[in-house]
Structure 1
Amino acid sequence: MLKIVVLVSGGGTNLQALIDAQEAGTIKNGKISCVISSNPSAYALERAEQHGIATVVLNRKEYPDVASYSQAVLHTLQEQEADLVVYAGFMTILDESVCNAYPNKMMNVHPALIPSFCGKGFYGLHVHEAALQKGVKLTGATVHFVTAVCDGGPIILQKAVAVKDNDTPETLQRRVMEEAEWEILPKAVSLFCEGKIKVTDQKVSITD
């Protein structure tokens, strides 16, 4: 059984999707062993505690720079013996020392179809504002491995979501979460834990 450590900063809706999938038995050969938050008041911590999952708070504001914070997170991941690290609304940038320590073992869900609307500055509602401004007819979500390049790691799963004429950034954000993020993130986690993901030349193949 692989140990999954989830990194959070806010409400924890993606964490809840993972917890629900775990309790429904759809995440195979893996279990959330710990939730690490960069924000001591994140509601995600309550979600974890309600389901008996250990939590650690590493308050970003208590560290002087990215390097020292990254080392604290890395130390905690090693302490927790993490097999897979999942970014679930984790709003803090870590330096490459962390992803280098967990090559193809850290994954993130991004609320767009990468390579569209991704990279530095594209997070939260900003992504959906940009999609609406561009007038795209399809958006969606992407689960990818984390590398030193922001949103640039190998793509694991994607799912498209239709954009409606009367969408606001808020309604689009909600629909992308419900129809895509909450579905493909637990699925990608389970595929990893089942040993069904292979990365070759920055491309992911999934075995049956």
Structure 2
Amino acid sequence: MVKTAILVSGDGTNLQAIINAHNFGKIKNCELTAVISSRPNAFALERAKNAGIQTFVVDYSMFPSRAGFNEAIYQKLKSLDIELVVMAGFMVVLGSPVVEAFEHRIINIHPSLVPAFCGNGFYGIRVHEEALNYGVKVSGATAHFATAVADAGPVILQRVIDVREDDTPASLQKRIMEEVEWKILPEAVSLYCEGRLKVVGRIVHIKDA
């Protein structure tokens, strides 16, 4: 079983999607070992406790530098003997020493078709505002391996939905979350835990089951 830690910062809807998929046997060979939050009041912690998953808080606001925060995250992951890290609405870009120690072992979800509408400052509703302002006809979400550069790691899975004429940023955000994010993030976790992902350069190859 792959010992997995979920990093969260907020409400935890993507965490809940992972918990639900795991409970229904859709994520194979995975142990949900811990949920670690960068904010002590994140509702995601309650979701984890309700699911019987141990929780930890590494409060970003308590660290004078991002480097200190990253070191604390690294030490917590190391102490728990974590193999796979999943960023599920985690609002801090990870850096050294986490990304080096967990190369191709950190999965993130982003609510656009990377490399469109991604990178520093592109999170939450802004992603969908920019997509609609640009006039795209399709949008979606991307599950990818995280690196020290925001949303720049190798793509694992992408899925699209049509943009409707009457879409608002809020309606597009909701549909992408429900129809795409909540499906491809658990799927990407399962693919990793099943040993079906191989990274060659920037390309993620998915082995047949």
User: Could you state the TM-score of these two structures normalised by the residue count of structure 2?
Assistant: 0.98
Report the equivalent of 2:164: 164
Which whole-Å CA distance do the structure 2 matches of 1:96 and 1:57 have between them? Answer: 19
Do 1:140 and 1:180's aligned partners in 2 also have CA atoms closer than 8 Å? yes
Q: Mean alpha-carbon deviation: is it higher for 38-47 or for 144-153?
A: 144-153
Q: 1:98: Cα distance to partner?
A: 0.9
**Residue type of the alignment partner of 2:124:** G
What aligned pairs does 1:79-98 form with structure 2 within 5 A after superposition?
Answer: 79-98=79-98
Q: 1:94: Cα distance to partner?
A: 2.5
Q: 1:75: Cα distance to partner?
A: 0.2
**Residue type of the alignment partner of 1:90:** F
Q: Mean alpha-carbon deviation: is it higher for 161-170 or for 175-184?
A: 161-170
1:125-148: per-residue Cα shift (whole Å, max 9, x none)? 010000010010100000000112
Report the equivalent of 1:137: 137
Do 1:144 and 1:157's aligned partners in 2 also have CA atoms closer than 8 Å? yes
Do 1:69 and 1:94's aligned partners in 2 also have CA atoms closer than 8 Å? no
Report the equivalent of 2:127: 127
Do 2:93 and 2:148's aligned partners in 1 also have CA atoms closer than 8 Å? no
**Residue type of the alignment partner of 1:177:** M
Q: 1:80: Cα distance to partner?
A: 1.1
Report the equivalent of 2:23: 23
What aligned pairs does 1:36-47 form with structure 2 within 5 A after superposition?
Answer: 36-47=36-47
Report the equivalent of 2:186: 186
Which whole-Å CA distance do the structure 1 matches of 2:139 and 2:30 have between them? Answer: 30
Do 2:157 and 2:184's aligned partners in 1 also have CA atoms closer than 8 Å? yes
Q: Identity over the aligned pairs, expressed in percent?
A: 52
How many residues matched? 208
> Is residue 35 of structure 1 aligned with residue 32 of structure 2?
no
Which whole-Å CA distance do the structure 1 matches of 2:162 and 2:82 have between them? Answer: 36
Which whole-Å CA distance do the structure 2 matches of 1:32 and 1:171 have between them? Answer: 31
Q: 1:166: Cα distance to partner?
A: 1.1
User: Could you state the TM-score of these two structures normalised by the residue count of structure 1?
Assistant: 0.99
Q: Mean alpha-carbon deviation: is it higher for 161-170 or for 106-115?
A: 161-170
Which whole-Å CA distance do the structure 2 matches of 1:153 and 1:100 have between them? Answer: 13
**Residue type of the alignment partner of 1:99:** V
**Residue type of the alignment partner of 1:31:** E
Segments of structure 1 that go 5 or more residues without pairing to the other structure are none
Which whole-Å CA distance do the structure 2 matches of 1:193 and 1:25 have between them? Answer: 13
**Residue type of the alignment partner of 2:134:** K
Q: Secondary structure at the match of 1:96?
A: coil
Deviation above 3 Å: which 4+ runs of structure 1? none
RMSD over equivalenced CA pairs, Å: 0.7
1:79-98: per-residue Cα shift (whole Å, max 9, x none)? 11111000000001222321
